[in-house]
Structure 1
């Protein structure tokens, strides 16, 4: 258990939208008033086509192939960190790695984030904290979302912390208790549709803006979310592929109309949660979707005067999750709670994550 108050940590994040590997060198300082943070250096390493193919199809591998890929990806992470540390002449306490989610099935008692912590440690030569979700799942929780623990300590000045990544999720305090949940699919759907036009993503929602809402697709998406809303499960690739992707594959609807409809659907799902609050909300918007100007415009129009949407400096927009996992690593090293029962619905709070080299 560590009790020092100053840390220099690298946080690693690879999201469901496969934008790339986020590497953030973060500094944290604990004072009587709470934690302060800064992002010193940060970069997103775009995945080569070969890695996009491997990561997007990892769930189809045999057990032996998956283990081999787990080690290979761990080595990839370790080398990326070693290069980043060397290029920027950094001294760090450890690396905190989220990994890349391949399987997330808490109802069956497991979750799996690709990227062997042992391989990462060996390739980087630095201590590592990894596998942040498994313990919570084994304690009966959803294993997600985990970022709200960071929101609680690092971003408490906001009423709502909204992450617009592959999946849109949010966290907020209700009567002194932190709650959080996945709201809907976001960039996972938008990027999937954009890929049909040979693009990695729809820049600023330009294609979506040219389309019109298709009522049948809108109703189909609303029906899916209505069913999910009753249970508020942790959303993942499995649900997307089974329930959302077939709807987005409807070629009888123009691509721009599908993009517009999915954009409007996601904005409506998020706005409905924000509007359910009795008071005007100060909403922090981060994640790649915060840079989608058309989406933000639609969300603003749907929320009206009930919310102020705040898009922070670009490093926070892009690297907030990497920052938070660096912080969750600190809490783990200190033996403090980094996984909240009120958020994941586990049987208890926990200090989750495995360590090596510490």
Structure 2
């Protein structure tokens, strides 16, 4: 067992570069452990945008091949170490014990392989503390899909005594977790499909850079219901959980496959239609696979929660359920996943399983992540 496991409170940095590929989410969290429950306190968070050249390299690597992995692994690792060091210094943060770094996903093959880049050696050198990384491989090794991993975090953050909640994260890909009251059912979670990925692709095909984060451009268009209904026929939405997906599917290749029909409508109409499509995939997925009468709230996190049109459609579709943002629970919608990986890093140190077999399809619950440097992990 790692020496840090004996501490009741661990100050952990969580780092997340998501499928939206817009920057690095950083959260510094004091995490208190009680048996198998972890509770975050005193969260300090920020998002640091990627430099244009680094973002270009990430996009090229995602759409390219394995021969590009090594260079991005080094470049991203060095950049992350620099910005995290600056963040710690600028905020006068001391007493860091641990870093949980998810890394940038460049390939995710459901239940077969998941690749995240960002060499942890540079973070360790810069901060002088252990780094937990490569969170998905252990679940895949146990027969799981490797995603989503945030449902365990949703349990720690949002579980209520008397009612169930649905926790929704909208990054590039959207995922949901049904968190039942304690001891009243099992957690179910999966990727519902596109979050901001398709909207971002269409926006950047028009403007090269940027994205319609607030949904302002989408609000100026008209929805093409025939297209939305046709898109809803995709086989992924009918597939029962456990399941996960990524930009490999709902990304550039999806837009290319639907290019002809997208080009038949205006730019604003494309964004308006994709906004409803995204909301409908979330709602229909919950309706099909998470049906419970005691769901009281839908709690949104992730950058897509800023998108006014998606939020509007979700409020209308989930009529009987309160739609809230995770800010109301003290967790910034932009840094929820970074907070999540700070928690999963502590779970690794304390040998607490971080996956949920009913979510990923794994044969058993396992401890997630590798530790760098490896010699920091010692037997009790």
| Cα distance change, pair 286–60 in 1 and its aligned pair in 2 (3 A) | closer
Q: Partner of 1:202: helix, strand, or coil?
A: coil
Tell me by how many angstroms 1:123 deviates: 3.9
Distance 1:126 1:24 in 2: 16
Q: Quick check: 1:79–1:124 contact (8 Å CA) kept in 2?
A: no
TM-score (norm 1): 0.92
Distance 1:261 1:130 in 2: 37
Unaligned runs of 5+ in 2: none
**1:81 pairs with 2:97:** no
Q: Quick check: 1:220–1:247 contact (8 Å CA) kept in 2?
A: no
Who is 1:285 aligned against? 300
| Cα distance change, pair 281–66 in 1 and its aligned pair in 2 (3 A) | same
**Structure 1 vs Structure 2 CA RMSD:** 2.1
Distance 2:139 2:35 in 1: 29
| Cα distance change, pair 277–266 in 1 and its aligned pair in 2 (3 A) | farther
Who is 1:131 aligned against? 134
Tell me by how many angstroms 1:124 deviates: 3.7
Tell me by how many angstroms 1:31 deviates: 4.0
Who is 1:194 aligned against? 203
Distance 1:351 1:208 in 2: 41
Q: Partner of 1:121: helix, strand, or coil?
A: helix
Who is 1:295 aligned against? 310
Q: Quick check: 2:36–2:352 contact (8 Å CA) kept in 1?
A: no
Who is 1:242 aligned against? 253
Who is 1:104 aligned against? 108
Unaligned runs of 5+ in 1: none
Q: Quick check: 2:222–2:268 contact (8 Å CA) kept in 1?
A: yes
**1:311 pairs with 2:321:** no
| Cα distance change, pair 123–167 in 1 and its aligned pair in 2 (3 A) | same
Distance 1:255 1:316 in 2: 31
| Cα distance change, pair 223–244 in 1 and its aligned pair in 2 (3 A) | farther
Q: Partner of 2:318: helix, strand, or coil?
A: helix
**1:92 pairs with 2:96:** yes
Matches within 5 A, 1:185-224: 185-198=194-207, 200-224=210-234
Q: Quick check: 2:11–2:28 contact (8 Å CA) kept in 1?
A: yes
Who is 2:170 aligned against? 164
Q: Partner of 1:346: helix, strand, or coil?
A: coil
Q: Quick check: 2:107–2:115 contact (8 Å CA) kept in 1?
A: yes
**1:286-314 deviation line (CA, Å, top 9, x unaligned):** 1112111222111111111x110111328
Distance 1:164 1:65 in 2: 28
Matches within 5 A, 1:1-358: 1=1, 2-31=5-34, 34-61=37-64, 63-90=66-93, 91-107=95-111, 109-157=112-160, 159-173=165-179, 175-198=184-207, 200-224=210-234, 226-232=235-241, 233-240=243-250, 241-247=252-258, 250-275=262-287, 276-304=291-319, 306-313=320-327, 316-357=332-373, 358=376
Distance 1:35 1:54 in 2: 36
Q: Quick check: 1:341–1:347 contact (8 Å CA) kept in 2?
A: yes
Q: Quick check: 2:237–2:285 contact (8 Å CA) kept in 1?
A: no
Tell me by how many angstroms 1:116 deviates: 1.4
**1:258-313 deviation line (CA, Å, top 9, x unaligned):** 11111111111222344433234311111112111222111111111x11011132
Distance 1:206 1:151 in 2: 29
Distance 2:68 2:215 in 1: 37
Tell me by how many angstroms 1:143 deviates: 0.4
| Cα distance change, pair 65–262 in 1 and its aligned pair in 2 (3 A) | closer
**1:298-347 deviation line (CA, Å, top 9, x unaligned):** 1111111x110111328521111000100000000011111111111011
Q: Quick check: 2:100–2:132 contact (8 Å CA) kept in 1?
A: yes
Distance 1:148 1:273 in 2: 16
